[in-house]
Amino acid sequence: MSRTKQAEMDMIHGSIWNKIPQFALPIAATAILGQLFNASDLAVVGNFTGEARNACVAAVSSNSAIVSLVVNFFVGIGLGANVVIANALGRDDRDMVEKTVHTAILLSVLGGILMAAFGEAIAHSLLSSLNVPEDVFDMALTYLRIYFLGMPVILLYNFEAAIFRSVGDTKTPLLALAFSGVLNVLLNLFFVLALKMTVDGVAIATVSANAVSAIILFLKLRNTDKSIKLDPSKLRIDGKALGRILRIGVPAGIQSALFSLSNILITSSVNSLGTVVMAASGASSNVETFAYAVLNSFSQACTTFVGQNYGAGEIKRCRKVLGLCLLECAICTACIVLLALTFGKNLLAIFNSDPEVVAIGYTRLKLIFFAYIFTTLYENMSGYLRGFGISLLPALLTAFGICGLRVVWVYTVFRANPTFQTVMTVYPVSLSTTAVLVGIALLICHPARRHLKAGAKNMA
């Protein structure tokens, strides 16, 4: 076996059950560290900005849904690059691997520049549509504008991470983010405590840390011994690679973006309930994201493992991947949820120690964690379909089950009874509906059975 292949995880041969957590858990840890960027922002402004702490926390929190909308869309496109590279590796098509790597890197930078320019132009209108209170608006706008300026490096890191994961390397992105995560916390403290800045300081710290992680991965790609080695002289858009990335990535990005879009609508409803509720919801969402990172990592593992095995024609292993991802994801998520519920109030107090904020935030935690039962199901089934190149269908079902239902809920149920409990109940309702819809779609499409039948006919 060559040095290159030794450096990559073998997803096509041998046992799978032990490789899936080896792949997934570093992704979860990476996502958690990424969330700590925002969490450290909240913790610092929530504890070191004096009487303005609630307003500062609310200002940062009010941007979470917008940031997630933009970043998740491009992360979905990055996932398209992951699937294309994984399929090509399964077929041993090294030429397509090389073209996809260089296309993806250039696409991330160009997309980041365009998003930064567009974001700066619409930042004020976006926040206005969220009903951000007057006493919070200016700080929220400052944070959002600074964050948009950092989009090129933020997207570059996420595409680079997707490229590493396509060959089974999930530890390199984790190590890069671990280093920049520590840097982010130190910079937060420096800007707020030493320079007496508020939300502008933590925004600059976050963008700076993201730039460092992107540079680290860029250098790693240039010097790696894997088949994804980057040569800056070859950075160009290949039409065929771009088409394949977008065919899988755009629907995946839309699926993630619609999830975030529906959260923007929920955020707008929460904002109408006052600054204290805003602060509580923002603190709670940071705790929830830690648990979500675990279950989403298994979905990404499912996509990548299925993608490589599908490319290699190992269809029966694709089925096995789905079953193991569902089982292992359920076990890990259950453990995380149990810990979070047990220590939930203590975790919320890290972001804001106000007793009223903690009490309201814990109400949200309980409802969201119950809904994660259904998220585990639909995330892994969607990941399985994407591994076969079926990306549009789960995106459409997510649009209906999550975004559509939440819009209806906000304008009917919440409008009739505008309480925090009412708006939060939409999460288990919409997620359970989406899980049922994606499950039915999987049974109807059944890509493994379809490809096995096709293979049997070719052999006859």
Asked whether the predicted pLDDT for residue 189 surpasses 50, the reply is: yes
How many residues belong to the chain?
A: 460
Cα gap 332→327, rounded to integer Å = 9
Burial of 281-309, coded b for 16+ CB within 10 Å and e otherwise, reads bbbbbbbbbbbbbbbbbbbbbbbbbbbbb
Dist CA 64 CA 41 (whole Å): 11
Residue-wise DSSP of 311-354 = HTT-HHHHHHHHHHHHHHHHHHHHHHHHHHHHSHHHHHHHH---
Question: What's the token pair of residue 40?
Answer: 């450290």
Say which residue the tokens 């398209």 belong to.
Answer: 80
pLDDT reported for residue 62: 78
Q: Which pLDDT tens digit goes with each residue over 197-245?
A: 888 898 999 899 999 999 999 999 999 877 899 999 999 999 999 999 9
Cα 293 to Cα 309: distance, rounded to the nearest angstrom: 24
Which of 9-13, 267-271, 405-409 is predicted least confidently?
Answer: 267-271
pLDDT, residue 37, reads: 67
Alpha carbon distance 447, 423 (integer Å): 37
Tens-place pLDDT, residues 56-78: 888 887 787 788 788 888 888 99
Instruction: Give the span between the Cα atoms of 183 and 210, in whole angstroms.
Output: 10
| Percent over 90 (pLDDT), the chain | 45
Structure confidence by residue, pLDDT tens digits, 350-372: 877 888 888 898 989 888 888 88
pLDDT at 456 over 70: no
pLDDT at 458: 45
Per-residue burial over 339-373, b = 16 or more CB atoms within 10 Å of its CB, e = otherwise: ebbeebeebbbebbebeebbebbbebbebbbebbb
Question: For 233, which DSSP code?
Answer: G
Taking only the tens place, the pLDDT of each residue in 127-142 is: 888 777 788 888 899 9
State the pLDDT confidence band at 455, using cuts at 50, 70 and 90.
Answer: low
| Minimum mean pLDDT range among 78-92, 170-184, 276-290, 297-311 | 276-290
